[in-house]
Amino acid sequence: MKRTIFYSIIFLALLATGCKKSFPVDEDGLLITTRSECYVSSFELLGADYQTVRSKAAVVDTTAQTVNVEVLFGTDLKNLYPQFTLVTDAKLDPKIPGKVDFSDLSNPKKWTVVSGNRKVRKTYTVYVTVQKIN
């Protein structure tokens, strides 16, 4: 009986100390990795009903760091939900809290993509245009 208790204590001590690894995390609690890649791979724009409002696929230019998206005629530009797909381990700054107002088409929105190692930052500009009626 004493031997079982002794081995149990040793096992728990090893478990508690042997499994601890220190992984660095950022202020958002996200793991900081060694990846330096930093880009947007795709972009979606949803309306208040969470359905796409794009008239065609968004064009993401990783060299110019721009996103060009055309929305359907009549779209409520004040209540849109942008969705970015980023390279692995990257994050977006500022965070998107919910609805975004894109109604001022002369002032495009900007978001910064931050790499997994948190050392590379690239600011993307999102240009929204409205589909023309023929």
**What pLDDT does 22 receive?**
73
| 69 has a pLDDT exceeding 70 | yes
**What pLDDT does 61 receive?**
98
The pair of structure tokens assigned to 65 is 């760091």
| 5 has a pLDDT exceeding 80 | no
CATH class for the domain made up of 22-130: mainly beta
Mean pLDDT of the region 22-31: 87
Indicate the SS3 state at residue 2: helix
Q: Are 102 and 128 in contact (CB under 8 A)?
A: yes
Say how many C-beta atoms besides its own lie within 10 A of residue 57's C-beta: 11
Q: Which residue has the higher pLDDT, 123 or 8?
A: 123
In which residue are the tokens 């910064």 written? 112
pTM reported for the whole predicted model? 0.81
